[in-house]
Each structure stands twice: as C-alpha cells, then as structure tokens.
A and B are shown apart, each in its own frame.
Chain A
Amino acid sequence: MVKLHRKVIGSAAMFSAAGLVLAGCAAADEDATSGGEVEVVDQSAFEEALSTPTELTMWAWVPDIQNQVDMFMEEYPAIDVTVENVGQGLDHYTAIRTALSAGSGAPDVVQMELQYIASFDVTNDLLDLAAYGAGDLEDDFVPWVWNQVTAGERVLAIPQDSGPMGNLYRQDIMEAAGVTTPPATWEEYAEAAQAVRDNTDSYISNLPSGQAGQWVGLLWQAGAKPFGFDGDSGVTVNVNSDRAKEVVTYWEELIKNDLVSTDPDFTDEWYQGLNQGLYAGWLTAAWAPVFLSGAAEDTSGLWRAAPLPQWGEGENVSGNWGGSSSAVLSATENPIAAYELARWINMDQEPALAFATEQFLFPTANSVLADPAWLEQEPEFYGNQRVNEVFADISESVDVEFQWLPYMDFAYSSFNETMGVEIDAKGDLSAGLDAWQEALVEYGEQQGFSVNE
C-alpha cells in the first residue's frame, strides 16, 4: 500500500510539473496550441477536485464492481460514487443515449465496450481524457488495446478488459480423433476437423451464424481491415475485401462439409452441446476460459488452451473479441473526479488485479498482465495448465491497427441478416459479405457519413 501511495504521489508530482509549465505559458500559448501539445489540466485543480465533496454516478454491469469503487472511495474519501447497473449490452447503451438526449440523469462514468467507443465519439459524448493527462498512460497498457481507446491524440476511455482470441479444446476428444497437438495452422485445423468428424460424434468447434463479434475477430486475425472511422464524418467499409473473402471461403468449405457446426451460442442447446461433448472446441476470447469452467462444469479437467491456428506457417497473430473500457461522458459536471475514477479502478494495482483474479476480466494493464498472482494460476478445469500465461502471450500478438464503425449496433444486426443467413443455409459466404457490405454502405450514407469503400 505504501508503495502504491508513492506511485500516486509520483505521478501527481509529474502532473503538477506539467501543469505548472503549461499554466505558465497557457495565456500566451492559446493560439499556438492548435498543432501538437495537449494542454493538461493543472495539478492544483486535480487536488482541489479530489478533496472537494463530490457525487459521481457510474453505470456498469461488471459483477461486484462495487468492490473496486469501495477501494476508490477509501482512497478519495471526499468522493461519493454510486454504481448503477442499467442493463447489459444494448440495454445499457440505449439507457445512456436516452439519458443524454433527455439532458439529465446521465452518469459521469460508463462502461463501454471497445467497439462502441466510436459510436459515442461521433456524437461528441465522450470526454477527451488527454486533457487530464491520460496521454501519459500509453506505456502502461498493451499497445493494441491502447489503440482501441484512442483516436489520434485523443484518449476516449481507459481500458478495462480485452478478449484476445485463442483456441480452447477438449484434449480427450482430439486425442480420440488422433490429433495429439493443437493445430498450428488453419490447414491443419481443417484436417483435424475431418478427423474429429470421422472418429468421434463431435464437431471440432461451433462457429455461430449469429455471433458477428467472433467472426470479426477471425477477420481481425487474418489482417483484414473491414472498418475505419476518421473521428469525424468519414467511414471506411471494406468487409468484402479479398482477404476477408479468403477467410470466409475457408469456413464455407468446413461448414458445407459439416465439419463445424453453426448453432447459436449462449443458448440452452449450446450449453448442453458444450457439456455433452458435441463441440470439441471453441475459438474464443480470453474472457472465455473462466466462463467456460462455469458453463461446462461436467467436463472439468478435459479442456486445454492454445493459440489460434495461423494462416501462414510460423506466424503468430491473433484477433480480439470483446473487451471493455471506462469512459467519461462529456456531459459530466465533475470531469476531474470522473477521470480519476475511470483511471484509478483500472490502473491502480489493487483494484485492477482484483478485476483479473476475482471478476475474471482479462487484464489490459501491463502491471497486471505481469503479476504472478494472476499469471501463475493453474485452474483444474484445464488440467492445471497455466491458461492465463497462454492468453497473456496471445495478447501480445494481436494486430494493433484495428478500427470500428461508429455504428456497430447496426453492423452486427445486419450481419445476421446477410452473412448469418448464408452461414445457416450453408450457402455462399462471399455473397454474404457482399450483401453485408452493401447494407453497411447504404446505412452509412443514409446517416450522413461519407463512405469510403
């Protein structure tokens, strides 16, 4: 704890130094700052804001996040934080939008999944945290995650968790099929899929037709850049690129030959399928290992983790599926305290480590990723394999440059109606991508964006 305090004081000192310098030249500099340097709020303003009695509201659905908030309130007794859970996913974002357009009742800090940041940035609802010194936090986070929460010099949120993708598989079923090592390339994976189908009653994995996020993660790994957003009114839609088509054509073969199933996930059927060995694997994100050990309890000890198969031999690349951050809404009346809340719970070692070890979020802060208390866990469900180590390594291999559209709600829902339909019909997935492309371009133009194809 002493150590932590020193760290806080250390960074405080740094803030104040920067603050003094900037305060000194702020008046003269006002016109000249247009280009590079971000003006950071004065340290004395920080001290004042954090010692003034303040009430903050945070909307989040992470279970027991109250624990982290309690730690925060102990650290900053003047600040009183209320945590509210207004729903998960879509419900949560709808509630935020409603509160923002009503002009009152909006929280100060919100949980925000990585792919939604652009959607709220385009309407200028997110506070640029660079003005509060967030620019200096870059080196504390994994580079690809940092890229997800920033737009140029602007910092739009503080990372909370992420979902680099790997391969969870049933070792017993794979061995029964004669596959003794996890497939290293997608070519080997297709062969293994055939072997599993020939020798067992299982599918090597289930790739749901309705799980756009998972499909996008696989495109991400392949280096396809389906989306782009310039932070203003220009978007790039390129979901039917040649690279993306290569990826879906690969899956089209497997789906047509009945080598992978495409059942909807997170349904009763799917849980049964996992427990009863219908699916011998799951190409999934780093938040899944702990989730799976609860969802498929009957199969404890039989699962193992490995990186995703690769497109080229000897490569080591992954994609991401899911992940969240803490963002401050620009409507807040207490920007400094709100920023500190978002920063502190995700960066201070005690709350951040608790996210990883108690709430099982996959960490994004380097200090937690390197913490033995988390890294060296040996869960029984995975035959005492150090699963966190596997995914910590994968996290370093995630392609850094990946962007989202400022309308991912629509993008994912229209995925179901274009790609999803083709996947379920075991049809032409490239045509599915073309239809998806068309829907995304049409919607973008209708919403007033200039769309780059």
Chain B
Amino acid sequence: MNAQTTSSVKTKNTRPVKVRKTSRVKRRTNLSAYGFVAPFLIIFFLMLFIPLAYSGYISLFIERIVGGINFVGLENYARAIEDPRFHEGLGRTALILLIQVPIMLGLALIFALALDSGYARGSNLLRLLIFMPYAVPSVVSTLMWGYMYGQNFGLVGQLATSIGLPAPDLLSPGVILFSIMNIVTWAFVGYNMIIMYSALKAIPSEVYEAAEIDGASQFRLAWSIKIPALRPALLLTTIFSVIGSFQIFVEPSLLSPLAPSAIGQSFTPNYYAYNLAFVNSELNYAAAIAFSLGVVIMIVSYAVQLSTQRKRVAE
C-alpha cells in the first residue's frame, strides 16, 4: 500500500509531497503506539520523574532548624564529596561487592551447573529449596537471622556452647558486616541461580550432541560451552548484584536495634540517607546523598558493563 501510493504520487506530481502523505499514515501508527505506551509514560512521569526532579531541586537548598530554608547551589554535593561518613558507607559497600558478590554468584553458578548437568537427583525439589529464601521477605529473613545470631540464646551461640566452644558474637562491630553478607547471600543465591539456570536451558541441544560426539566430558561441556553461553546472564546478575549491594538498607536498619553501636547512622549509604532525612532532619542533604549514590551506582554499573564488552571485543 505504501509503495503503491508513493509510486502514484511520483507519476502525478514531481513535488515531494510523498513525505507528507506517508507521514500521515505513519503518524497514525505512531499515535496508536504512543497510546499503548502512554500508561507507562504517565506513571513513569508521575512516580519517577517528578519525585526525582523534586529531590534534585530540594538538594540545592539547606533547611536549618533555626534560620529556615536557603538556596545553596551545589554546597550539599560538595559536603557529600568530602563527607567521611558517606565514604565509610561506600567503603563497606565496596567490601560487599568484592567479597559477597563473587561468593554469591559463584555459588549460584555452581548450583545452576549442577542442576543442569542432570546428575543431581530430585533436581526440581532442590531448585525449589535453593530458590525459597528469595521468596521470604527480606524483613522476615533479617529478623530470623538476627534471632539466630544472638550470642547467649541464639541458635549459633547455643550450638557453639553445646560443643564446648565460646559463643561467637556475630553482632559485634568487626563481624556484623560479614553477618549481613551472609544474610544477603542466603537470600539471593537462589534468585541468581534461576536466572543462570534458565539461560542454560536456552542452549540448543544440538550443541551438546555435537560436543558429545567429539567426546567432551561434563566438565569440558561446562567450561567450553555452558559458561561462555552464560555470559549475558552473568553480566545481568552482576549488574543486579552491584545495584543491590549499593542499595542495602533493610538489613542494617533491622539489625541496628540488636547491635546499636556496631551499626551506625552511616553503615550503608542508603541507610545514611534515611537517617539524615528522618533522624537528623537534614532532608536536603539526604537528597544530595541519594543523588550522589545514584551517580556512583551508574558509574560502577557502566564500568562493569564496559569491562565485559571489552573482553568480548578482544576475543
């Protein structure tokens, strides 16, 4: 139809009206497309864009209890860049990134490969069991772990005492970060495993058949076929984990009553922003911290993505 109209126009008229004519049709198509995405756009605008713009706006002011609100430009951001407490929180997040994320993704990968190999018996049940912690709301799982961590009457402490060991204080300042990493790993291994497992399921079986004919072992299959095929899934889970680590909030906020001196206001950047806004009544600075955190997350996620892309190009 399109080609027809254009050709007829061409014969009748040398002037380039064809642009206008096709665009009317196109416009109608576009319009209905916009109609379909409109609900998303409206909600996106109302629920995400406006609040973001608003917090960006208020991050340019300072409100003091005495003295009211003043415009200060980027002063809050200058403070954030120099704020040792913000750095400290970012440092903890970096530790989580370097220690917890590899452990969690490694475990998820091992589980996914093991389940996919077909040698694990009752793999459906196992898959469900490994995934189940993810279905437990993080509030519940944190409370549960907090209870188990208790030194005198908690599960870990009582087990240690029953075999004659001193009860470890898993909520003490030096250890609490690792206790939190443990909770996060427990909760998210299953989730990451499912993503990797579905990616494995998408590998066409002809590839395996060919490999088997060539005499490849299960290990060789995993190393040379499955893991390379998993690269997009690994990238995805890594980026999710990076963002997730930066946004850790529930765990410190619920464990802080159990370990009030080990978890300070600025334990993680997100928790810091919350405390600034609702405990210290420094709403404006909290907005600046949140924005700065967003920038850091974008940089780190982009760096992760870029480094994996470069690898691919190198190959």
Which stretch of B49-57, B62-70, B181-189, B288-296 is in the interface? B62-70
In the assembled complex, the CB of A429 is this many whole angstroms from the nearest CB of chain B, namely: 12
Q: Is B278 an interface residue (CB 8 A)?
A: yes
- Kindly report which residue of chain B lies nearest to residue A91, judged by CB atoms: B278
In the assembled complex, the CB of A418 is this many whole angstroms from the nearest CB of chain B, namely: 9
Q: Is B203 an interface residue (CB 8 A)?
A: no
Q: Is B281 an interface residue (CB 8 A)?
A: yes
- Are the C-beta atoms of B152 and A272 separated by less than 8 Å? yes
- Are the C-beta atoms of A416 and B64 separated by less than 8 Å? no
**Given B172, B258, B261, which contacts A423 in the complex, CB threshold below 8 Å?**
B261
A417 to B261, CA, bound (A): 6
In the assembled complex, the CB of A117 is this many whole angstroms from the nearest CB of chain B, namely: 15
Q: Taking A409-B279, A424-B173, A446-B64 as contacts, is the C-beta distance between A273 and B261 under 8 angstroms? A: no
Across-interface contacts of A266 in B (CB, < 8 A): 257
- Are the C-beta atoms of A416 and B260 separated by less than 8 Å? yes
Across-interface contacts of B154 in A (CB, < 8 A): 268-269
- Are the C-beta atoms of A448 and B261 separated by less than 8 Å? no
Q: Is B262 an interface residue (CB 8 A)?
A: yes
- Contacting B at CB under 8 A, from A230-268, are 233, 263-264, 266-268
Chain B contact residues, majority secondary structure: loop
- Kindly report which residue of chain B lies nearest to residue A211, judged by CB atoms: B260
- Are the C-beta atoms of B259 and A264 separated by less than 8 Å? yes
Q: Is A180 an interface residue (CB 8 A)?
A: no
Residues 97-116 of chain A, each 1 if its beta carbon lies under 8 Å from chain B, else 0? 10000000000000000000
A410 to B279, CA, bound (A): 6
- Are the C-beta atoms of B64 and A447 separated by less than 8 Å? yes
Q: Is B264 an interface residue (CB 8 A)?
A: yes
- Kindly report which residue of chain A lies nearest to residue B263, judged by CB atoms: A416
Residues 129-169 of chain B, each 1 if its beta carbon lies under 8 Å from chain A, else 0? 00000000000000000110011111000000000000000
Across-interface contacts of B237 in A (CB, < 8 A): none
Q: Is B192 an interface residue (CB 8 A)?
A: no
Please count how many residues in chain A sit with their CB below 8 Å of the partner chain's CB atoms: 37
- Contacting A at CB under 8 A, from B235-287, are 257-262, 264-265, 275, 278-281
Q: Is A443 an interface residue (CB 8 A)?
A: yes
Across-interface contacts of B262 in A (CB, < 8 A): 424
A373 to B264, CA, bound (A): 45
- Are the C-beta atoms of A264 and B260 separated by less than 8 Å? yes
- Are the C-beta atoms of B280 and A410 separated by less than 8 Å? yes
In the assembled complex, the CB of B310 is this many whole angstroms from the nearest CB of chain A, namely: 42
A84 to B153, CA, bound (A): 37
Q: Is A27 an interface residue (CB 8 A)?
A: no
- Kindly report which residue of chain B lies nearest to residue A450, judged by CB atoms: B66
- Are the C-beta atoms of B65 and A417 separated by less than 8 Å? no
- Are the C-beta atoms of A267 and B173 separated by less than 8 Å? no
- Kindly report which residue of chain A lies nearest to residue B285, judged by CB atoms: A446
Q: Is A123 an interface residue (CB 8 A)?
A: yes
- Are the C-beta atoms of B66 and A269 separated by less than 8 Å? no
Q: Is A25 an interface residue (CB 8 A)?
A: no
Residues 5-20 of chain A, each 1 if its beta carbon lies under 8 Å from chain B, else 0? 0000000000000000
- Are the C-beta atoms of B150 and A269 separated by less than 8 Å? yes
Residues 207-221 of chain A, each 1 if its beta carbon lies under 8 Å from chain B, else 0? 011100000000000
A268 to B153, CA, bound (A): 8
A370 to B167, CA, bound (A): 49
**Given A272, A406, A416, A421, which contacts B65 in the complex, CB threshold below 8 Å?**
A406
Q: Is A331 an interface residue (CB 8 A)?
A: no
- Are the C-beta atoms of B65 and A449 separated by less than 8 Å? yes
Q: Taking A409-B279, A410-B279 as contacts, is the C-beta distance between A273 and B66 under 8 angstroms? A: no
- Are the C-beta atoms of A448 and B66 separated by less than 8 Å? yes
A249 to B172, CA, bound (A): 23
Across-interface contacts of B67 in A (CB, < 8 A): 448
Q: Is A278 an interface residue (CB 8 A)?
A: yes
Across-interface contacts of B265 in A (CB, < 8 A): 413-414, 417
Across-interface contacts of A416 in B (CB, < 8 A): 260-261, 264
Q: Taking A122-B65, A269-B154, A447-B64 as contacts, is the C-beta distance between A210 and B257 under 8 angstroms? A: yes
- Are the C-beta atoms of A122 and B257 separated by less than 8 Å? no
Across-interface contacts of B261 in A (CB, < 8 A): 209-210, 416-417, 420-421, 423-424
- Are the C-beta atoms of A417 and B66 separated by less than 8 Å? no
In the assembled complex, the CB of A182 is this many whole angstroms from the nearest CB of chain B, namely: 26
- Are the C-beta atoms of B152 and A273 separated by less than 8 Å? yes
Across-interface contacts of A449 in B (CB, < 8 A): 65-66
- Contacting B at CB under 8 A, from A371-430, are 406-407, 409-410, 413-414, 416-417, 420-421, 423-425
A425 to B151, CA, bound (A): 16
Across-interface contacts of A443 in B (CB, < 8 A): 280
A446 to B281, CA, bound (A): 12
- Kindly report which residue of chain B lies nearest to residue A418, judged by CB atoms: B261
Q: Taking A122-B65, A447-B66, A449-B65 as contacts, is the C-beta distance between A264 and B258 under 8 angstroms? A: yes
- Are the C-beta atoms of A264 and B153 separated by less than 8 Å? no
Q: Taking A447-B65, A447-B66 as contacts, is the C-beta distance between A267 and B257 under 8 angstroms? A: yes
In the assembled complex, the CB of A269 is this many whole angstroms from the nearest CB of chain B, namely: 4
A269 to B148, CA, bound (A): 10
A122, A273, A278, A416, most chain B CB atoms within 10 A: A416
Across-interface contacts of B259 in A (CB, < 8 A): 264
Residues 282-305 of chain A, each 1 if its beta carbon lies under 8 Å from chain B, else 0? 000000000000000000000000
**Given B146, B151, B260, B281, which contacts A97 in the complex, CB threshold below 8 Å?**
B281
Q: Taking A122-B65, A233-B66, A269-B151 as contacts, is the C-beta distance between A409 and B281 under 8 angstroms? A: yes
**Given B65, B150, B152, which contacts A123 in the complex, CB threshold below 8 Å?**
B65
- Kindly report which residue of chain B lies nearest to residue A276, judged by CB atoms: B153
Across-interface contacts of A263 in B (CB, < 8 A): 152
Residues 60-91 of chain B, each 1 if its beta carbon lies under 8 Å from chain A, else 0? 00001111000000000000000000000000
In the assembled complex, the CB of B294 is this many whole angstroms from the nearest CB of chain A, namely: 23
- Are the C-beta atoms of A407 and B260 separated by less than 8 Å? no
Across-interface contacts of B258 in A (CB, < 8 A): 264, 267, 269
In the assembled complex, the CB of A343 is this many whole angstroms from the nearest CB of chain B, namely: 29
Q: Is A94 an interface residue (CB 8 A)?
A: yes
- Are the C-beta atoms of A448 and B260 separated by less than 8 Å? no
In the assembled complex, the CB of B64 is this many whole angstroms from the nearest CB of chain A, namely: 4
Q: Pull 18 A–B residue pairs with CB atoms less than 8 Å apart, ordered by A.
A: A94-B278, A264-B257, A264-B260, A267-B150, A268-B150, A269-B152, A269-B153, A273-B153, A276-B153, A407-B65, A409-B279, A416-B260, A416-B264, A423-B261, A424-B173, A446-B64, A448-B64, A448-B65
> Which residues of B pack against A, CB within 8 Å?
64-67, 146-147, 150-154, 172-173, 257-262, 264-265, 275, 278-281
What are the 7 A-B residue pairs with the smallest beta carbon separation, nearest first?
A210-B260, A448-B66, A420-B261, A448-B67, A448-B64, A272-B153, A269-B150
| 8 new A-B contacts at CB < 8 Å, known A97-B281, A269-B153, A447-B64 | A122-B66, A208-B260, A209-B261, A210-B260, A263-B152, A267-B146, A272-B150, A449-B65
